Structure 1
Amino acid sequence: MLNADETFVSSGDLRLWTQRFGDPAHPTVLLVMGTSAQGIGWPDDLVRRLVDGGRQVIRYDHRDTGRSDLVDFASRPYTLADLAGDALAVLDGHGVGAAHVVGASMGGAIGQWLAVHRPTRVRTLTAMMTSPMGNNPGPAWARAMTGQPPAPDELPPPAPHFFQHLMASAALPRTSREEHIAASLATWRMLHGTGLPFDEPAARRFAELSYDRAADPAAAANHDPAGRQLTPDRLAPLSSITAPTLVVHGTDDPLFPPAHAEALAGLIPGAHLRLVPGMGHGLHSVGLAAQLADLVNPHLDAL
């Protein structure tokens, strides 16, 4: 078992749940999860390998997820910049000036935002299974849903089965614990793809624990409208990023095809792209956490 310290930090008037591993005297890795996902989504094996590499590791629950505070989004809408502010509050709460930021999916966009707008807080950036933070996927999604190809200047939309799942998932009942867990498990299975074996028991444990930890499981859906808002700060050029950057992406990602990773790496000076054969848009596969840690650790060592 990993030894961890759990504590709450303040982000404005919100309380955020955090979990810290390793020696506080060591360089810090901040793990930032994606849309609607709790901090426990970062596999323990990945955390352990980062700690064994000589780092302090911090993971946390975004607002509206897990044990962190909820927000009335209708009266108090928030944006990616606010979620990035929460990440900074986590660092401040633990007395960390600058960290190695590792973000997955929306967490990768938060990492980009920090590297652009708060460069002194980011020692290195690792962006996993994500897209350029200024990309507007709406037009490509709309065309895909009506059977049209993307425009030449657009990044490709998700795979067709992603849209099929969205429609099917919207009709699933979510009135009981088991129904919530079954719907979540179906989504993780779809996002995982078929390129690597899907560790269904691990995914189920994550879905169960996520449900049981959440004050309101439905609140996590607020991340979707928050993430879609293309505010001016998200359009800042990624060419200004000076933090050494690693872009990690799966070849079978059904949400962000590899062209998104290629575009992101091309926009950040000196960024390195590592494609993981068979990986989709998730971490539920035996051995995958270790494989990702073996990519991330040398990137952090290179600083």
Structure 2
Amino acid sequence: MTELNAAACEGTTLETAPTRYVEGGGIRFAYRRLGPSNGTPLVLLQHFSGNIDAWDPAVVNALAADRTVIVFDNAGVGRSTGQTPDNVAAMADDAVTFINLLGLSEVDLLGFSLGGFLAQLIAARHGRLVRKVILVGTAPQGGEEHLMAVLQEAFADKQAPDVRLPLFFTPSSVSQAAGQAFLKRAKARTEDRDTDSGSDVTNPQAKALITWCATPDPEHATLRAITQPALVVSGSNDTMLPAENAYAMFKVLSDAQLVLYPDSGHGALFQHHALFVSHVRTFLDA
């Protein structure tokens, strides 16, 4: 990255940063890069159906205050070309291709939900590439998931102005208010917004997610292959990928810390964004 480009990234936000592109392996990846160029870059791996603008600016911008943060669309998602794979391994390979195309020799990973599946595989298979890994609202292979049932219930709720309110937040007034605030932040960018996902993305992603959780791994081979320090985060009432998954990963990982947030669902990192950023910073800087 040139000094000019690095300087341009400093002071930008998720809402204002230009969408950039890098191409290789037959895929043109869309991404945004924020923050100073010092330290180990933090690469964010997104949730089911999510794109760059589905991240919370309160999280991304705060993390980028003192480090490079990179958000991107994996193959077939948003403005990235290619076909969205229907398995986690291929998605992880595409993410590694993207990281390599940026010329990064070492990164930290933050994987949210489906992105946490990818983060586990990348950390397990590419030990020299990944320094530390943050697993948020996710599950190990063979873990517990209620994705389809919860999605169907949420989409059937015609009272909710946005499906993310019942999916990511608890029914409590405090959590729902936090959800409304999150939605306002996530919609702040009005120009050059990313492209929403359709069934060509959500169908293969759903298959990948369900297959990952339905495939037993009694020996916890993937988790045991992760030797990097890990921070495992979950909401207390995550109905999509329950918090039991976080505790299960914490027990098996060789060097892990566990954080559970109160009165929060799948979007605990957005509801408790200031606390989450503080925990991530402490973990990455240790």
TM range (shorter): 0.7 to 0.9
Unaligned stretches of 5+ residues in structure 2: 1-11
How many pairs does the alignment contain?
265
**Residues in 2 aligned to 1:131 and 1:12: alpha-carbon distance in whole angstroms:** 29
- How many angstroms apart in 1 are the aligned matches of 2:253 and 2:186? 33
Give the letter aligned to residue 226 of structure 1: A
Work out whether residues 100 and 124 of structure 1, in 8 Å CA contact, stay in contact via their aligned partners in 2: yes
Deviation at 1:213, TM superposition (A): 3.1
The equivalent residue for 1:249 is 234
Residue of structure 1 aligned with 2:116, choices 108, 113, 121: 108
Kept in 2, the 8 Å contact 1:29–1:57? The answer is yes
Aligned equivalent of 1:226, options 166, 191, 208: 208
With over 3 angstroms needed to count, the CA separation of the structure-2 counterparts of 1:163 and 1:198, relative to structure 1, is farther
Alignment partner of 1:292 is 2:273: no
Q: Does residue 186 of structure 2 align to residue 186 of structure 1? A: no
Gaps of 5+ in 1: 138-156, 173-181
Which residue is 1:122 aligned to?
130
> Is the CA contact (8 Å cut-off) linking 2:53 and 2:194 kept in structure 1?
no
The CA distance in 1 between the partners of 2:101 and 2:38, in whole Å, is 15
The alignment status of 1:62 with 2:44, answered yes or no, reads no
TM-score (norm 2): 0.80
Matched, 1:272 2:257: yes
Give, in whole Å, the separation in 2 of the partners of 1:193 and 1:105: 17
Aligned in 2, Cα 1:27/1:168: closer, same or farther, shift over 3 Å? closer
CA RMSD in angstroms, aligned pairs only: 3.3
Q: Which amino acid aligns with 1:91?
A: I
**Residue identity matched to 1:290:** A
* Equivalent position of 2:152 in the other structure: 166
Identity rate of aligned residues, in percent?
A: 24
Report the Cα distance in structure 2 between the residues aligned to 1:25 and 1:248, rounded to whole angstroms: 26
Tell me if the contact between 1:192 and 1:284 (Cα under 8 Å) persists in the aligned partners.
no
Letter in 1 for 2:279: L
Q: Which amino acid aligns with 1:194?
A: P
Do the aligned partners of residues 11 and 128 (structure 1) sit closer, same or farther apart at CA in structure 2, a change above 3 Å counting? farther
Q: Summarize deviations over 1:69-97 as a string: whole Å, max 9, x none.
A: 252x6xxx542111112221222222111
1:16 and 1:69 in contact (8 A); partners too: yes
TM-score scaled by structure 1?
0.76
Indicate conservation of the 8 Å contact 1:188/1:282, yes or no.
no
Partner AA of 2:28 in structure 1: R
Residue from 99, 113, 135 that aligns with 2:142: 135
Q: CA deviation at 1:204?
A: 6.3
Aligned to 2:107: 99
Q: Do the aligned partners of 1:38 and 1:61 also contact (CA within 8 Å) in 2? A: yes
Give the alignment partner of residue 225 of structure 2, picking from 237, 240, 252. 240
Instruction: Write out aligned runs for 1:26-65 (5 A).
Output: 26-52=39-65, 54-65=66-77
Decide whether aligned partners of structure 1 residues 233 and 131 sit closer, same or farther in structure 2, where only a CA change above 3 A counts.
Answer: closer
Report the residue type matching 1:227 in the other structure: L
Matched, 1:217 2:198: yes
CA contact (8 A) 2:235 2:268 kept: no
Secondary structure at 2:53's aligned position in 1? helix
Asked whether the equivalents of residues 143 and 245 of structure 2 are also in contact (C-alpha less than 8 Å), the reply is no
Code of the residue aligned with 2:142 in structure 1: it is N
8 Å CA contact 1:4–1:22 kept in 2: the answer is no
Are 2:38 and 2:68, in contact at CA under 8 Å, matched by a contact in 1?
yes
